[in-house]
Amino acid sequence: MIRLQTNFIITILFFIFFFNKILNASSNFFIVTKIDNEIITNIDIAKEVNYLIALNNDLEKIDNKSLVNLARDSLIREKVKKNELKKNFKSFNVNEDVIKQLIENFYKRLKLNTIDEFRNYLNNYNVNLSAVESKIRIEILWNNLIYNKYANQININKKELEKKINKKRDNEIKKYLLSEILFSTEKTKDFEKLNNEIRKKILENGFKTAANIYSKSDTSKFGGRIGFIEESQLSKNILDKLNLLNIGEITDTIKVPNGYLILKLNEIKIEKVEKDFKKELDNLIRFETDRQLNQFSMIYYNKIKLNTKIINE
């Protein structure tokens, strides 16, 4: 317990020191990046660093320059999305119950039990709960936008999903606890360089930190952690790769429709359950729908980013 408390204090001291270092430019406010008519300042960067470290303490291990770049990239994604949302929605009102549920998901990932614990935890990093809610609101609206644009392009092969369920042994579900790094390159020739860079970062700083820095997936803010995925939800190609691994190992780089994927196998468990064909089919359809929407989300984001004027000062 004493060791955990010591590590936490060290983290907070690092955070305070680094926060002050970013702000310290004769205590002046200055612009870091311009995005169309929006700006990102040194103060914005400092706040985003606080937020990112709060979600993943492992980020304290990386150098200051990489941390600033990570915070800037995170804010660029947020502002590009926000500007696009303004063109499509009259207001940013969303269902408050959905926000509460996602907030709960956040603090449970951090092994906290209540919203008050989460609020106090964030306060230690000078992060307001309202700022987190604002970020979640943007992501909810972004997901709504993607669904509205691409719902008619989702292609679900129910017969294939039904075959997957029928192949399973009765009363038994195999689950994989996975983390991911999803990345892409503009040119195929750049793949090898970026792939080697990511794998080097994994060796030096761990998978979670590498995911924070390089992954384009929404899971990046939590170090790439996906959670438990049922065997039936995974493609044969990915299953073949995972079955070659021991716990704690990572896959070869896998080509996927929206880029390249590196998976880490954290745990495997087998659960005994009563077979409910309809429920399992509904879960598979939901999982496959989310997977395709995530692909569309990346495609659409990259498209609007290309048409956005981004200038780093």
Task: Kindly state the tokens that stand for 181.
Answer: 């790094």
Q: Are β-strands 254-256 and 259-271 bridged in parallel, bridged antiparallel, or unpaired?
A: antiparallel
Torsion of CA 136, 138, 144, 150, to 10 degrees: -120
Q: What is the mean pLDDT of each run of 10 residues along the chain (313 residues)?
A: 43 48 58 89 92 88 86 93 93 90 91 94 94 94 95 93 78 90 83 93 92 90 90 90 95 90 95 81 92 92 91 79
Conformation bin of residue 126: beta by default, left when phi > 0, alpha when psi is -120 to 50: left
Q: What is the model's pLDDT at position 75? A: 94
Q: What is the model's pLDDT at position 6? A: 43
Q: What is the model's pLDDT at position 22? A: 53
Task: Domain ranges for the chain, please list them.
Answer: 2-148, 158-296
Spatial distance between the Cα atoms of 128 and 83, rounded to a whole number of angstroms: 23
Q: What is the model's pLDDT at position 56? A: 87
Q: What is the model's pLDDT at position 2? A: 38
Decide if 2-148 and 158-296 have a common fold: no
CATH 1.10.4030: does it fit domain 2-148?
Answer: yes
Task: Kindly state the tokens that stand for 147.
Answer: 């669904």
Give the count of beta carbons closer than 10 Å to the beta carbon of residue 128: 13
CB 213 within 8 A of CB 262: no
Task: Kindly state the tokens that stand for 266.
Answer: 């954290």
Q: What is the model's pLDDT at position 173? A: 84
Phi and psi at 29, nearest 5°, equal -85, 130
Per CATH, the number for 158-296 is 3.10.50.40
Q: What is the model's pLDDT at position 170? A: 65
Q: What is the model's pLDDT at position 20? A: 53
Contacts of 255 by beta carbon, 8 Å cutoff, 6+ apart: 261
Task: Kindly state the tokens that stand for 146.
Answer: 């993607």
Spatial distance between the Cα atoms of 15 and 10, rounded to a whole number of angstroms: 9
CA distances from 166 to 155, 161, 274, 275, 276 (A): 21, 9, 14, 10, 11
Spatial distance between the Cα atoms of 249 and 266, rounded to a whole number of angstroms: 8
Sign of the Cα pseudo-torsion (113, 54, 265, 285, in order): positive
Q: What is the model's pLDDT at position 3? A: 40
CB 124 within 8 A of CB 12: yes
Q: What is the model's pLDDT at position 169? A: 62
Spatial distance between the Cα atoms of 128 and 140, rounded to a whole number of angstroms: 19
Which of 238, 181, 188 has its CA nearest to residue 214?
A: 181
Helix 64-88 to helix 277-306 angle (10° resolution) is 100
